[in-house]
């Protein structure tokens, strides 16, 4: 019998469970540490929404690089941004579609979606092309690219975007 150095997992080895909520997904990924800090700095209702196991959400999640670019563009420190609870709350609400877990396949080009930030500032446009992929357009005409799509988090779906989505009238 020849033994190798590669351990064999028993056939019934438990695979890691996918995160049960968006909050779990964000907390478990170091690339979302600034997003996690923003969630913790925002109104408690944001954390409650993202921690709700029953919630069906679509979340456009900006990674650390997106937050760092925003801070540089605005010449702000993370502490300055996170210290403004109303601003952080509005910005985060602009990344969440409540009531539906929408896959990238279900997003349609020229579609207008309403985020949890009510009214025109919270409307996002969808651009979808085979060669360019999915893009999100904010009420300020900012265009963000979906860089990773359809990440399951319980009953919700997360799409990673390359920019923090800023609604009109905030900055």
Instruction: Give the H or E element holding residue 11.
Output: none
- Is residue 4 over pLDDT 50? no
Q: What radius of gyration do the chain's Cα atoms show?
A: 18
Coil, strand, or helix at residue 64? helix
The distance of Cα 139 from the centroid of its chain, to the nearest Å, equals 18
pLDDT of 133 reads 93
145-168 pLDDT per residue, tens: 999 999 999 999 999 999 999 998
> Considering only 39-43, 46-50, 128-132, which range has the smallest mean pLDDT?
128-132
Q: What is the pLDDT of residues 43-69, one digit of tens each?
A: 999 999 999 999 999 999 999 999 999
Question: Residue 17: its pLDDT value, please?
Answer: 82
Q: How far apart are CA 55 and CA 153, in angstroms?
A: 10
pLDDT, greater one: 27 or 7: 27
Q: CB–CB of 35/67 below 8 Å? A: yes
The more confidently predicted of residues 115 and 5 is 115
Q: Mean pLDDT across the chain, nearest whole number?
A: 91
What class, spelled out in words, does domain 22-103+147-161 have in CATH?
mainly beta
pLDDT at 16: 75
What does the buried/exposed string (b/e) look like for 114-140 if buried means 16 or more CB atoms within 10 Å of the residue's CB? ebbbeeebbbbbbbbeeeeebbbbbbe
- Predicted confidence band of residue 10 (pLDDT cuts 50, 70, 90): low
Q: What is the pTM of this model?
A: 0.89
Residue 73, SS3?
helix
């Amino acid at each position: 019998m020849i033994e190798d150095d590669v351990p064999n997992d028993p056939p019934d080895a438990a695979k890691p469970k996918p995160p049960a909520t968006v909050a779990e997904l964000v907390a478990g990924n170091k690339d979302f540490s600034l997003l996690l800090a923003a969630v913790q700095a925002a109104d408690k209702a944001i954390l409650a929404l993202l921690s709700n196991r029953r919630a069906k959400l679509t979340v456009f999640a900006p990674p650390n690089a997106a937050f760092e670019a925003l801070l540089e563009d605005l010449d702000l420190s993370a502490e300055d941004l996170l210290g403004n609870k109303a601003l952080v709350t509005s910005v985060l609400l602009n990344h969440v579609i409540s009531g539906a877990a929408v896959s990238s396949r279900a997003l349609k080009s020229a579609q207008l979606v309403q985020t949890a930030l009510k009214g025109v500032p919270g409307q996002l446009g969808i651009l979808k092309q085979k060669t360019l992929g999915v893009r999100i357009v904010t009420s300020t005409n900012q265009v963000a690219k979906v860089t990773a799509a359809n990440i399951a988090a319980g009953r919700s779906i997360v799409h990673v975007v390359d920019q923090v989505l800023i609604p009109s009238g905030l900055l």
